[in-house]
């Protein structure tokens, strides 16, 4: 199969400067993720997982190094361009769902699409419907987030992440706030998205979740210490 490089990090460093201390959250990260991969990132608390995900998702800028997304350098882009790329290419799933409480389910999913110029209202409607169908939340489309269970909220968040057909889905401990049953449902959802061809990059503490991915990256003190590709077959069944 032809491996299309989606993400290419080259010597990426991230240093936080606070009043007195410099925190080296990421040190010399070299990482390539191909289209269609399902990557999980794990490591102890504070090792830099979330920071790495933020850099990949253009929520944060690396202090040093190069980053090519879909073949384009994105390190020195202006805020507006980064926002545009984030909107189009990246779908986020957060640990704490981060739905907007005063928007309905439908509106939450539609929100990123309303920031785009290439979607008409009709197209937005259809995309929202498809995404909600995928996560099986169509019947709750006019509810507000507070009227949903945690698992349901996270499914809506997933729908929001995929509605715009992004190149990559970034998930930071997507099951961290869920009980095991709901966690399982969300993981199954990610599996099926992956099977439909989505590229997924997920941070998780949970080894069982991590094993559902086909590539396992481990980080310690801002450095990649292990990067193993697991055979695809294991979880296919």
Partner 1 sequence: MKWLFDIKYAYRMLLKNPGFTSLTVSVMAAGLGLCVFMLAFISSILTRPLPFEQGEQMHMIELEYDGVHYNGGSIMHPDYLTIKEQSSSYSDIGAYYTATANLSNGDRAQRYSAAVTEANMFSFTSTSPIMGRDFTEQDATSGAEPVTVIGYDVWQNYFNGDQSIVGQSVKINGVDTLIVGVMPQGYLFPMAAQLWQPLTEDATRVKRSEAAHMAIYVKKKPEVSLEQANQEVKDIMNKIAQQYPETNSKSSAYVATFQKWMMGDGTNMIIGLMLTAVSFVLVLACVNVGNLLFARANERAKETAIRVALGAPRSRLIMQMMWESMFICSLGGLFGLFLAAWSLELLETILPQMLPISVPFWWVMSLDNELILQSIVIILITALVTGILPAWKMSSSDFNAVLRDGTRGAMGKKAGRVNRVLVIVEVALSCILLSLSGVLFVVLQEINNSDFGANIDNKLTARVGLPEVNYQEDNKRMQYFKRLIEKLSTIPGVNKAGAVSGLPGNGNGYRAFQPEGYEVTENQYPRTGQGVTYIGSMQAMEMKLLEGRYFDSRDRVDSLPVTVITESMAKKYWPTSSALGKRFKYVDGDDPQWLTIVGVINHVIQGQPFSNVKYRTSAYLPYSQQTRRFMSIFVDTQGNPEQYREALISAVASIDPEVPAYSISTLSERLKRSTGGMNFVRDLFAVFAVCALLLASSGIYGVLANSTSRRTQEIGIRRAIGASDERVLSMLMKQGWFQLVIGLAFGLPIGYLASQGVVQMLGPDTNNYYIVFAIIPVIISLVVTIATFVPAKRAIKMEPCTALRYE
Ligand X SMILES: Nc1ncnc2c1ncn2[C@@H]1O[C@H](COP(=O)(O)OP(=O)(O)OP(=O)(O)O)[C@@H](O)[C@H]1O
Q: Is 50 in the site for Mg ion (CB under 5 A)?
A: yes
Please, are residues 202 and 171 in contact by the beta-carbon 8 Å criterion? yes
Residues 21, 209: Cα–Cα separation, whole Å: 34
To the nearest whole angstrom, how small is the minimum distance from the Cβ of residue 121 to partner 1? 5
Q: What are phi and psi of 48, to 5 degrees?
A: 120, 15
- Dig out the tokens for 219 from the structure: 């980080």
Of these, 2, 19, 20, 45, which contacts ligand X (CB under 6 A)? 45
Q: Is 40 in the site for Mg ion (CB under 5 A)?
A: no
Q: Choose the one of ligand X, Mg ion, partner 1, none that binds residue 48, judging by a C-beta under 5 to 8 angstroms depending on kind.
A: ligand X
DSSP at 222: T
Q: Considering only 29-37, 49-57, 199-207, 220-228, which stretch makes contact with partner 1 by CB under 8 A?
A: 49-57
Q: Please give the torsion angle defined by the CA atoms of residues 128, 78, 61 and 94, in that order, rounded to the nearest 10 degrees.
A: -10
Q: Is 51 in the site for Mg ion (CB under 5 A)?
A: no
Q: Is 86 in the site for partner 1 (CB under 8 A)?
A: yes
Q: Is 212 in the site for ligand X (CB under 6 A)?
A: no
Of these, 12, 90, 200, 219, which contacts partner 1 (CB under 8 A)? 90
Tally: H helices and E strands in the chain: 8, 10
| Residue that is written with structure tokens 């545009």 in the block | 84
Nearer Cβ to ligand X, position 159 or 203?
203
The burial class, CB within 10 Å (0-12 / 13-18 / 19+), for 19 is: exposed
- Nearest CA to 92 among 101, 79, 83? 83
Q: Is 25 in the site for ligand X (CB under 6 A)?
A: yes
Q: Considering only 46-54, 110-118, 127-135, 229-237, which stretch makes contact with Mg ion by CB under 5 A?
A: 46-54
Q: Is 48 in the site for ligand X (CB under 6 A)?
A: yes
Residues 224, 43: Cα–Cα separation, whole Å: 9
∠ CA 195-42-2 to the nearest 5 degrees?
40
| Contact residues: Mg ion, CB under 5 A | 50
| Contact residues: partner 1, CB under 8 A | 50, 54, 57, 59-60, 79-80, 83-88, 90, 92, 94, 96, 98-103, 107, 110-112, 114-115, 120-121, 160
| Contact residues: ligand X, CB under 6 A | 16, 18, 23, 25, 45-51
């Amino acid at each position: 199969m032809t491996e299309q490089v989606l993400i290419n990090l080259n010597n990426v460093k991230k240093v936080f400067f606070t009043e007195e201390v410099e925190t080296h959250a990421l040190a010399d990260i070299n990482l390539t993720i191909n289209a269609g991969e399902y990557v999980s990132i794990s490591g102890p608390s504070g090792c830099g997982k979330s920071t790495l995900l933020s850099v990949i998702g253009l929520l944060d800028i690396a202090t040093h190094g190069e980053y090519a997304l879909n073949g384009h350098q994105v390190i020195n882009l202006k805020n507006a361009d980064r926002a545009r790329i984030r909107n189009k290419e990246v779908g986020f799933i957060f640990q704490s769902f981060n739905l907007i409480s005063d928007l309905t389910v439908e509106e939450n999913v539609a929100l990123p699409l309303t920031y785009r110029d290439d979607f008409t209202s009709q197209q937005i409607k259809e995309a929202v419907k498809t995404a909600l169908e995928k996560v099986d939340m169509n019947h709750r489309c006019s509810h507000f987030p507070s009227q949903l269970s945690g698992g349901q909220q996270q499914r809506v968040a997933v729908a929001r992440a995929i509605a715009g057909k992004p190149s990559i889905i970034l998930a930071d401990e997507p099951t961290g706030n869920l009980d095991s049953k709901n966690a399982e449902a969300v993981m199954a959802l990610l599996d099926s998205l992956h099977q439909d061809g989505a590229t997924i990059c997920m941070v998780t503490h949970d080894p069982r979740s991590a094993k559902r991915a086909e590539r396992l990256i481990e980080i310690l003190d801002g450095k990649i210490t292990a990067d193993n590709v697991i055979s695809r077959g294991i979880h296919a069944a």
